[in-house]
Amino acid sequence: MYKNILLPYDFGNSFNNVPEQLAKLTDNSEEAKITIFNVIAESDQVDNVKYQGKHFQDIINDKTEDLKPFTDQLDELGIDYTTRFRVGRVVNELLKEINENDYEIVVMSNRRSKREIKHVLGHVTHKVAKRVNTPVLIIK
């Protein structure tokens, strides 16, 4: 199936269904590679430096620790992955990452899964799906 997948990770979304879907998308192939990508907003980095004395590597270490329950699930399923972090505007950095690499599919979790919300997709999911030529799979 897919061998090169980008997973933009948002710590505010639920990724409960994602590991199983990734296993299906990769067909448990040893050649498949998942890139877990997180963008640290510029304002978050400034706040961390100013108020907590944490710099980029400290923030990455904290986020890697927060990501551990999710990556443990991937490990249990035997899915090969790497994590990457960037600082900047979320949509711009995601688009740059997608355009600079040869991903076969982008897998996103959707924050806006409640029926009473007017818009079906979240802001970032909508912008990415609208602006890239790579297929985007949105998981509820």
Contacts of 6 (CB under 8 A, 6+ apart): 35, 37, 97, 98, 101, 103, 105, 106, 107, 134
Residue 113 has pLDDT above 60, yes or no: no
| Selected residue with higher pLDDT from 75 and 124 | 75
Buried b or exposed e, range 85-109, using 16+ CB within 10 angstroms: bbeeebbebbeebbeeeebebbbbb
Across the chain, mean pLDDT equals 86
The domain of 32 spans 4-139
Instruction: Give the mean model confidence (pLDDT) for residues 37-59.
Output: 80
Instruction: Kindly report, residue by residue over 71-109, the tens digit of the pLDDT.
Output: 999 999 999 999 999 999 999 999 999 999 999 999 998
- Domain count across the chain: 1
pLDDT (0 to 100) of residue 28: 79
| Nearest of 1, 4, 7 to residue 137 by alpha carbon | 7
Rounded percentage of the chain residues whose pLDDT exceeds 90: 56
Compare 119 and 53 and report the one with higher pLDDT.
53
- In sequence order, the 6+-apart residues with CB closer than 8 A to the CB of 108 are 7, 8, 124, 125, 128, 129, 136, 137, 138, 139
75 Cβ partners below 8 Å, 6+ apart?
none
Mean pLDDT of the 25-34 span:
90
Q: Is the pLDDT of residue 40 over 60?
A: yes
- CA 132/CA 117 separation, integer angstroms: 25
Residue 130: pLDDT above 70? yes
At residue 120's C-alpha, the angle toward residues 79 and 7, to 5°, is 20
Select the more confidently predicted residue: 32 or 112: 32
Q: What CATH number has the domain bearing residue 32?
A: 3.40.50.620
pTM summary value: 0.86
